[in-house]
Amino acid sequence: MLCIRYSPPDDLEISGDVSDLAAVADGLHRVAAQKISAIRIPADDTCDRGLYVMVLSELVLQRATGLPRVAVICNSVEILGAAEGLDVVASYFEFPGDAEVGEHHHLEYYEGATHLLRQSCPVIITIDSNGVA
Q: Give the CATH number, domain containing residue 104.
A: 3.30.1360
Distance CA(97)–CA(93), nearest Å, equals: 12
Sheet strands side by side (includes 76-81): 38-42, 58-63, 76-81, 69-73
Domain residues for the domain of 53 are 3-127
The reply to whether the predicted model has a pTM over 0.85 is yes
Helices (H), the chain: 18-32, 83-91
> Which residues are bridge partners to 5 per DSSP?
13, 55
Count up the domains in the chain and report the number.
Answer: 1
Residue 92 lies in a domain: yes
Residue 132 lies in a domain: no
Distance CA(62)–CA(76), nearest Å, equals: 13
The pairs formed by 101-105 with CB atoms below 8 angstroms and a separation of 24 or more are: 101/127, 101/128, 101/129, 101/132, 102/126, 102/127, 103/127
Residue 96 lies in a domain: yes
Is residue 132 within 8 Å of 100, Cβ to Cβ? yes
* pLDDT per residue rounded down to tens, the chain (133 residues): 999 999 999 999 999 999 999 999 999 999 999 989 999 999 999 999 999 999 999 999 999 999 999 999 999 999 999 999 999 999 999 999 999 999 999 999 999 988 999 999 999 999 997 543 3
Q: Where are the beta strands (DSSP E) in 1-133?
A: 3-7, 11-16, 38-42, 54-56, 58-63, 69-73, 76-81, 104-107, 123-127
Residue 32 lies in a domain: yes
